[in-house]
Amino acid sequence: MAAVLLWPLSLVALAATALAMWAVGWAVFRRLSPSDGRTAFYAASPGALGTVLVLAEQDGTDVRKVAVAQS
Protein backbone atom coordinates (compact mmCIF):
# COMPACT_ATOMS: atom_id res chain seq x y z
CA MET A 1 0.00 0.00 0.00
CA ALA A 2 2.94 2.35 0.53
CA ALA A 3 3.75 2.21 -3.18
CA VAL A 4 0.28 3.57 -4.03
CA LEU A 5 1.42 6.97 -2.82
CA LEU A 6 4.05 7.03 -5.58
CA TRP A 7 1.59 6.34 -8.43
CA PRO A 8 0.46 9.94 -8.95
CA LEU A 9 4.06 11.06 -9.29
CA SER A 10 4.87 8.36 -11.85
CA LEU A 11 1.67 9.06 -13.81
CA VAL A 12 2.49 12.77 -14.01
CA ALA A 13 6.02 11.91 -15.17
CA LEU A 14 4.62 9.53 -17.80
CA ALA A 15 2.18 12.15 -19.11
CA ALA A 16 4.88 14.83 -19.25
CA THR A 17 7.26 12.49 -21.07
CA ALA A 18 4.61 11.45 -23.60
CA LEU A 19 3.72 15.08 -24.33
CA ALA A 20 7.39 15.99 -24.71
CA MET A 21 7.95 13.09 -27.14
CA TRP A 22 4.88 14.14 -29.11
CA ALA A 23 6.08 17.75 -29.36
CA VAL A 24 9.59 16.76 -30.42
CA GLY A 25 8.22 14.26 -32.94
CA TRP A 26 5.90 16.89 -34.39
CA ALA A 27 8.78 19.33 -34.79
CA VAL A 28 10.97 16.69 -36.44
CA PHE A 29 8.26 15.68 -38.92
CA ARG A 30 7.57 19.33 -39.76
CA ARG A 31 11.23 20.13 -40.41
CA LEU A 32 12.59 16.94 -41.97
CA SER A 33 9.66 15.93 -44.16
CA PRO A 34 7.36 17.92 -46.39
CA SER A 35 4.37 17.35 -44.09
CA ASP A 36 1.68 19.77 -43.07
CA GLY A 37 1.02 20.34 -39.38
CA ARG A 38 -1.92 17.95 -39.13
CA THR A 39 -0.05 15.07 -40.78
CA ALA A 40 2.94 15.67 -38.50
CA PHE A 41 0.59 15.75 -35.50
CA TYR A 42 -0.76 12.27 -36.25
CA ALA A 43 2.60 10.89 -37.37
CA ALA A 44 4.17 11.90 -34.05
CA SER A 45 1.37 10.46 -31.92
CA PRO A 46 2.80 7.77 -29.63
CA GLY A 47 1.10 4.38 -29.89
CA ALA A 48 -2.43 3.38 -30.93
CA LEU A 49 -1.69 2.82 -34.63
CA GLY A 50 -5.24 1.83 -35.59
CA THR A 51 -6.89 4.73 -33.81
CA VAL A 52 -4.37 7.23 -35.13
CA LEU A 53 -4.88 6.04 -38.72
CA VAL A 54 -8.67 6.33 -38.44
CA LEU A 55 -8.45 9.82 -36.94
CA ALA A 56 -5.87 10.89 -39.52
CA GLU A 57 -8.07 9.70 -42.38
CA GLN A 58 -11.11 11.47 -40.96
CA ASP A 59 -9.09 14.66 -40.62
CA GLY A 60 -8.01 14.51 -44.26
CA THR A 61 -4.28 14.08 -43.70
CA ASP A 62 -1.79 12.06 -45.74
CA VAL A 63 -2.50 8.63 -44.23
CA ARG A 64 0.44 7.02 -46.05
CA LYS A 65 2.93 9.27 -44.26
CA VAL A 66 1.21 8.69 -40.93
CA ALA A 67 1.22 4.89 -41.44
CA VAL A 68 4.91 4.82 -42.34
CA ALA A 69 5.84 7.00 -39.37
CA GLN A 70 3.71 4.96 -36.98
CA SER A 71 5.13 1.67 -38.25
Instruction: Answer whether residue 2 shows pLDDT above 80.
Output: no
Comparing CA positions, the residue from 26, 53, 51, 52 lying closest to residue 40 is 26
| pLDDT bracket for residue 34 (50, 70, 90) | confident
In three state form, how does the secondary structure of 20-69 look?
Answer: HHHHHHHHHHHHHCCCCHHHHHHHCCCCCHHHHHHHHHHCCCCHHHHHHH
Q: What is the pLDDT of residue 14?
A: 92
Supply the pTM of this predicted model.
0.76
Q: What is the pLDDT of residue 56?
A: 94
Average pLDDT taken over every residue of the chain: 89
